[in-house]
Amino acid sequence: MRRGGSSVLVPAALVAGSVLALTPLVWMVSASLMRPGEASEFPPPFWPSRPTLGNYVELFTRLSLGRALANSLLIASATTLGVLLLNSMAGYAFAKLRFGGRERLFRILVAALVIPAPVAMLPLFLMLRSVGLVNTYLGAILPGTAGILGIFLIRQFARSIPDDVLDAARLEGAGELRIYWTIVLPLLRPVLATLAIITFLATWNDFVWPLVVLTDESRYTLPVALASLVAEHVPDTELMMAGSVLTVLPVLLLFLLLQKQYIQGITLGGVKE
Amino acid sequence: MFLAPGLTAILVLFLVPIAAALLLSLTDFDIYALGDTANVRFVGLRNYARLLADPLLWKAMRNTALFLFVGGPLTIGVALAAALLLQSRAARLRGLFRTIFFAPYVTTLVAVAVVFRYLYHPRFGLIDHALGRLGVPPIDWLGDPRWAMPAIILLAVWKNFGYATILLVAGLQAIPESLYEAARLEGAGWWQLFRRITIPLLSPTLLFLGVLTTIGYFQFFAEPYVMTGGGGPLNATLSVGLLMYKAGFRWWSMGYAAAVAFVLFVVVLGLTAIQFRLQSRSGA
């Protein structure tokens, strides 16, 4: 769309932008491989003189971040499964099942998307506390399953399922649950993959809620564990970078693997009806 | 039947707590009430009166507004530049660059806040080191009240511009090339094409990004929590979200914290409404 003369400038600007985007991440990995204290030499080195995995060993032995890694995996996976199930059912219902007030109810939900989530945080904490779910995995998982965005995504996609297919199954006497399980879910597979990766990344990266609801160190997720470690280990740059790599790497890899589905979901969510 | 589980979850875990937050903000719920709810008293609007007289709230509001009104446009501006570059005819390897720009967005905020905390170090940080090569004296980014917010804003721009870029690229791709060709035939220059075609036709995407950025940026929390030890120096990075967290979960003044939450809610709602109004008035 821009006119000529920029055949050198445009690629140069793109490369410069990429360098700025990647440098913090590259340095994070590089510093995580340095000897203790090496990053605090002057002038600060960018690459380790002799790369070592010692910091990672220490993370898993002395600081037991392996536990936090397992917690993060558990909480993010369970939340994702919950969201997939609840949102696919509701999204399918909004797209294909007829009932009174359907459109109005859906519009209320979409309007609720603009409510900032932290507003719900204090009462949610008190509610979960009264039923004994504070400082439990379930307490960390449940609020994440109350997703609205996923219902929206699934509904958009489920509208393309032909009614004939569903009606034919009904004529053959299939129950609604069976239709949903054996016909609808398989057809929804692409959008379910999209929703799964979006939910997993969001839950993995979430900080405020696990910080509030998990009080026992052995239940901390990686971001919470990392934030509390940094407060104690300020001068240990290399160790903290290893902790950051451990936190970021799983989601970065997942994104690179499922990039297409993820970006599709993001642009789909951004397009209004 | 299919709706019941999902809607129940939304109702119980989201909408009811929102309503409960309003009630909570009208009480003096504190650490004693946490022990025995018989200690809760209805105090009307007293929390709000106290809050509006609290200099901490105004400090947090100023910082949050700075984050939103400087960080937001900066993020979208950088993203627009990146999107135009990616869509330019001279661009090669578009997919690769798009992935690179997007990578910071998927990273964990807490982890990259930790990384930037070290990058901003006045003596060993690479940012001051690079600036030093250019002859700029070292800046104590996170220790100087004047520089702490700019430092946090830069992190936010770095982390989030890739997301806006993706949406803007999709928006640009939806603009028919024939419009540009027709305008060029009439002798329009690059700037005119940009102002008269690109921007108006992108305005739905820009509105969406504006609303999303408003909601997201107004809640910023983890950056000061991790980078400046919870809002320092001298509360220069205290955000509304952080104030709510501290009031609720450090001082256990949950009634007061709920009032903070509602102030946040009302401001976000107001700002969102203004953006929709502006959009419909511009007629796009």
Q: Report which DSSP code applies to B42.
A: B
pLDDT above 70: residue B118: yes
Please report the residues numbered 136 through 195 in chain A whose beta carbons come closer than 8 angstroms to any beta carbon of chain B: 142-143, 145-148, 151, 176, 180
ipTM of the complex: 0.90
What value does the mean pLDDT take over residues A122-127? 93
A220 touches chain B (CB under 8 A): no
Domain count, chain B: 1
- As given in the structure block, the two tokens for residue B46 are 């007293």
User: Is the per-residue pLDDT at B282 higher than 80?
Assistant: no
- Which pLDDT tens digit goes with each residue over B48-77? 999 999 999 999 999 999 999 999 999 999
**pLDDT average, residue stretch A124-153:** 92
Q: How confident is the model at residue A250 (pLDDT cuts 50, 70, 90)?
A: very high
Mean pLDDT on A77-84:
96
Percentage of residues in chain B having pLDDT higher than 90: 70
At A162-202, the pLDDT tens digits run 999 899 999 998 888 999 999 999 999 989 999 999 999 99
Q: Is residue B50 classed as helix, strand or coil in its secondary structure?
A: helix
B89/A247 Cβ within 8 A: no
Is B204 within the bounds of a domain? yes
What angle separates helix A65-96 from helix B3-10, to the nearest 10 degrees? 120
Residues of B with Cβ-Cβ distance to A122 under 8 angstroms: 17, 21, 24, 244, 248, 254, 257-258, 261
Q: Is residue B74 part of a domain?
A: yes
Q: What is the mean pLDDT of residues A3-8?
A: 64
* Predicted pLDDT at B235: 92
Is residue B271 situated within a structural domain? yes
pLDDT over 50 at B284, yes or no = no
Inter-chain CB proximity A208 and B172 less than 8 Å: no
Q: Which domain holds residue B109?
A: 21-31+41-283
Q: Does A240 touch chain B (CB under 8 A)?
A: yes
Indicate whether B15 belongs to any domain.
Answer: no
- Collect all residues with Cβ–Cβ distance below 8 Å to A1 and sequence separation of at least 6: B84, B87, B88, B89, B172, B177, B180, B193, B198
Residues of A in contact with B226 (CB under 8 A): 227, 230
Is B1 within the bounds of a domain? no
Residue A4 pLDDT greater than 60, yes or no: no
**C-beta of residue B120 within 8 angstroms of C-beta of residue B147:** no
Q: Token pair of A171, please?
A: 């004529």
With an 8 Å Cβ cutoff, is A7 touching chain B?
A: yes
A 55-84: CB under 8 A from B: none
Q: pTM above the 0.95 mark?
A: no
The whole-angstrom distance between B2's CA and the closest CA on chain A is: 5
Q: Which CA distances in Å does B153 have to A145, A155, A234, B68, B259?
A: 31, 36, 22, 9, 26
Is residue A272 pLDDT above 50, yes or no? no
Query: Does position A249 have pLDDT exceeding 90, yes or no?
Result: yes
- A1 pLDDT higher than 50: no
B254 to chain A: closest CA residue: A122
Long-range contacts of residues B188-195, Cβ cutoff 8 Å, at least 24 apart:
B190/A2, B190/A3, B193/A1
Tens of pLDDT, residue by residue over B200-254, are 999 989 998 999 999 999 999 999 999 998 888 999 999 999 999 999 999 999 9
CB-closest option in B89, B124, B208 to A39:
B124
Chain B residues lying within 8 Å of A16, measured CB to CB:
none
Do the Cβ atoms of A207 and B225 come within 8 Å?
Answer: yes
- Say yes or no to pLDDT of A74 above 50: yes
Question: Diameter of chain A by CA atoms?
Answer: 77
pLDDT recorded at residue B229: 85
pLDDT score of B45 more than 50: yes
CA distance B196 to B224: 40
**Cβ atoms A270, B213 nearer than 8 A:** no
Domains of chain A by residue range: 61-271
Q: Among B109, B115, B264, select the one facing A116 at the smallest CB separation.
A: B264
Question: Is pLDDT above 90 for B114?
Answer: yes
Q: Taking CA atoms, what residue in B is nearest to A40?
A: B124
Distance from CA of B184 to the nearest CA of A (A): 10
Task: Give the SS3 label for residue A235.
Answer: coil
CA of B146 vs chain A CAs: smallest distance (Å): 22
pLDDT in tens, A22-53: 999 999 999 999 999 888 887 888 999 989 99
Q: Give the mean pLDDT of chain A.
A: 90
Which of A8, A46, A114 is opposite residue B215, by nearest beta carbon? A114
CA pair distance A243, B186, nearest whole angstrom: 58
Grade residue A100 by pLDDT with cuts at 50, 70 and 90: confident
Average pLDDT, chain B: 91
pLDDT bin (cut points 50, 70, 90) of residue B283 is low
Q: Which residues of A touch B9 (CB under 8 A)?
A: 86, 142, 145-146
Nearest CA in chain A to B161: A21
Q: What is the pLDDT of residue B92?
A: 87
How far from B21 is each of A246, B52, B68, B263, CA to CA, in Å? 36, 18, 24, 11
- Contact state of B90 with A10 under an 8 Å Cβ cutoff: yes
CATH of the domain at B73: 1.10.3720.10
Q: Pick the residue of B1, B39, B92, B115 with the most A CBs within 10 A to test the interface with A by mutation.
A: B115
Residue (of B265, B274, B236, B230) closest to B251 by Cα position: B230
Q: Is the pLDDT reported for residue B16 higher than 50?
A: yes
CB contact under 8 A, A90 and B265: no
Which top CATH class is A61-271? mainly alpha
Q: Which residue of B has its CA nearest to A241?
A: B115
